[in-house]
Amino acid sequence: MIEVCCGSFEDAMMASECGIKRVELNSALSLGGLTPSLGSLIMIKQYSDIEIVSMVRARAGGFCYTNYQYEQMLENLKLLLAYGTDGVSFGFLNEDRTIDKNRCQEFLENVKNEGRKATFHRAFDCTRDPYEAIETLIDLGFDRLLTSGQEATAEEGIHLLADLQKKYGNQIEIIAGCGVNENNAQKIIDKTGIKQLHSTCRGWGVDATGMGERVSFQVSDEDGDRYRSVSVDRIKKFVQICG
């Protein structure tokens, strides 16, 4: 299973047209992925039968949110569920980098009441003890865990990924993500036994109108006149490798 990380309706449609069966829907991928717009969710549901896992994340940075931020996320969760998302991806940590059980439980109750799937996202990679954390997630009732094995990339985290899959893979679906691409996908599958991969399949669109003589709306100077998108060519290569 390949899950493509998408930042828009357009990204998801390109993924669907390449044969991808599941996407993680976000906005603001340059910030690590935030809650998507309802418009993008509605349009994807209208034009495709692809499985949609919607991100619920209020801001960039860490995963210990203020009460206002949490209430905003809870309201977004309810709206995404009401408009038909197939699953949601979220994560809450305490200040000591343990799993925030209370907030996770409230989210899970909403998700399970609608018969949808719950993924704990890469907040897991910031937890202080991955074994304690995954056991907590299993006890809470999460369906899936997205992780890089607590390293900068999933390829670097292969050893922990393999151990988590061996010990817990029959209790929670583990998805390897971060830096996963068409060049290392098979290695990650072979070394870890994990069958679900998460990739941005990063590409670029071009729009030069965000740069004036003395003004720029680009995320960084390195982007020039580009913006984040998915690459159809990379998705097709991924599909050839992973099926």
What tokens appear for 133 in the block?
Answer: 């954390």
Residues of the domain holding 15? 2-242
* Cα–Cα distance for residue pair 121/175, rounded to 1 Å: 9
Q: What is the pLDDT of residues 80-111, one digit of tens each?
A: 999 999 999 999 999 999 999 999 999 999 99
Q: What is the pLDDT of residues 37-81, one digit of tens each?
A: 999 999 999 999 999 999 999 999 999 999 999 999 999 999 999
18-24 contact pairs (CB < 8 A, 24+): 18/232, 18/235, 18/236, 18/239, 19/239, 20/50, 20/235, 20/239, 21/50, 21/51, 22/50, 22/51, 22/52, 22/53, 23/50, 23/51, 23/52, 23/53, 24/53, 24/54, 24/55, 24/89, 24/119, 24/198
- Write down the pLDDT at residue 164: 98
Instruction: Provide the β-strand partners of residue 27.
Output: 34
- Range 161-186 average pLDDT: 96
- Write down the pLDDT at residue 223: 64
CATH number for the domain harbouring residue 96: 3.20.20.380
- Write down the pLDDT at residue 82: 98
Q: How many domains does the chain have?
A: 1
Read off the pTM: 0.93
- Write down the pLDDT at residue 20: 95
CA-closest candidate to residue 124, choices 135, 110, 112, 113: 135
pLDDT confidence tier of residue 215, bands split at 50, 70 and 90 = confident
